[in-house]
Amino acid sequence: MDSALWAEKYRPSDFTEVIGQEEIVKRIRAFVKHQNLPHLIFSGPPGVGKTSTAIVIAKQLYGENWRQNIIELNASDERGIDVVRTKVKDFARTKSIGEVPFKICILDESDSLTREAQQALRRTMENYTATCRFILLANYSSKIIEPIQSRCAVFRFKPLSEEEVMKIIDKVASAEKLVVDGKARKALVEASEGDCRKLENMLQSCAVLSPNVTEDLIYSVASAVRPKEVKEVISLAFSGNFQKARDKLLETMLAHGLSGLDIIKQLQKELLEAKTEPKNKLLLIEKCGEIEFRMSEGADEFVQLEALLSQIALAGTKA
């Protein structure tokens, strides 16, 4: 089946399909039960169920007519004031089909809207509340202007816990007849970082290659560095062997096609677990933040990572 058709067919239709957000779902159920919905902001990291919850709300309110009563726009693609003044306004001013007196406008990645577009949206939300309710989905609610935030009920979604990720792995493995060993499960938890969408994409990619999902297969599909390789780099640097640590880091980055920003995050994570004085950890974590900022500003990533390794080597001589 075509991936777009598959996604449409299997979009969630019940709140039980939203995993890891029990408190939010409990409050949303009450709104749906009384067929009364305020404007909503769903904020949180990607892949934790924001869009799924919005679609479930629509399906529960409108039943089979849900498609005719909602509009979905991705604000990162259509982020200008004209979109709010035309598409959104035209949709908001028309009446709904069925018993529910309002329609729903879902604005995905609404934190990407320009300030001018947000100001126009604020007036639209105010003028057409009787016929349209807005659900704004954002990674960072702080990027949405205060006047809009004050008109909405804000729900903050959290990343999925390890236990919840394991449940999804079991569900997918059972449905797709995959064999996922213990180390592979841990690798999936680490690589997905609580992002359900990322987790399912990795499992799908692994399933195409082999029904037996292993740790090595996951890291190759995710194009991620293995923790043991990063630990080896840190260990070599701590022991004072700067040249070998540098060569190993370069080899690891080239083998996996990783950028400096990818590797710095893994280094920072492993430094927290390193066996060194707490004071050294504090200084090295601070240095990771400084190096990451320099790279994001355009500095040469190899030079910056070498500078970080030199700091780790120096910390090793002081230990």
CATH number for 147: 3.40.50.300
Report DSSP state, residue 46: T
Q: Are residues 95 and 15 in the same domain?
A: yes
Q: What angle do CA 129, 134, 140 make, to 5 degrees?
A: 135
Q: Are residues 18 and 98 in the same domain?
A: yes
**Percent of the chain whose pLDDT exceeds 70:** 92
- Among 156, 187, 210, identify where a domain stops: 156
Q: Are residues 215 and 79 in the same domain?
A: no
| E strand or H helix at 73 | strand 70-74
Please name the residue ranges forming H helices in 63-114: 81-83, 89-92
pLDDT for the residue 4: 41
- Among 174, 197, 222, identify where a domain stops: 222
CATH code at 190? 1.10.8.60
Q: For residue 76, what pLDDT band results from cuts at 50, 70 and 90?
A: low
| E strand or H helix at 314 | helix 301-318
Q: For residue 318, what pLDDT band results from cuts at 50, 70 and 90?
A: low
CATH code at 277? 1.20.272.10
- Residue 197 CB partners (closer than 8 Å, separation 6+): 46, 47
Q: Are residues 13 and 142 in the same domain?
A: yes
> 206 pLDDT exceeds 80?
yes
**Percent of the chain whose pLDDT exceeds 90:** 7
pLDDT for the residue 6: 40
What is the C-alpha separation between 84 and 110, in angstroms, rounded? 11
Q: Are residues 196 and 296 in the same domain?
A: no
Q: Are residues 7 and 139 in the same domain?
A: yes
Total number of domains constituting the chain: 3
pLDDT for the residue 86: 74
Q: Are residues 66 and 144 in the same domain?
A: yes
pLDDT for the residue 130: 87
Q: Are residues 112 and 31 in the same domain?
A: yes
Tell me the average pLDDT across 222-240: 82
What is the C-alpha separation between 3 and 7, in angstroms, rounded? 6
Q: Are residues 217 and 250 in the same domain?
A: no
Q: Are residues 299 and 205 in the same domain?
A: no
The overall average pLDDT reported for the chain is 83
pLDDT for the residue 80: 62
pLDDT for the residue 5: 42
CB 253 within 8 A of CB 309: no
220 is written with which tokens?
A: 């190759």
Q: For residue 162, what pLDDT band results from cuts at 50, 70 and 90?
A: confident
- Among 106, 127, 156, identify where a domain stops: 156
Q: Are residues 76 and 106 in the same domain?
A: yes
Tell me the average pLDDT across 220-239: 82
130 is written with which tokens?
A: 């009787």
Q: What domain range is 274 assigned to? A: 227-318
pLDDT tens digits, one per residue of 78-108: 656 666 777 778 888 888 887 888 999 888 8
pLDDT for the residue 175: 84
pLDDT tens digits, one per residue of 182-193: 888 888 888 888
Q: Are residues 269 and 290 in the same domain?
A: yes
Cβ neighbours around 260 below 10 Å, total: 22
Tell me the average pLDDT across 202-223: 84
Beta strand residue intervals within 157-250, DSSP E: 179-180, 212-213
Residues pairing with 138 in the sheet? 43
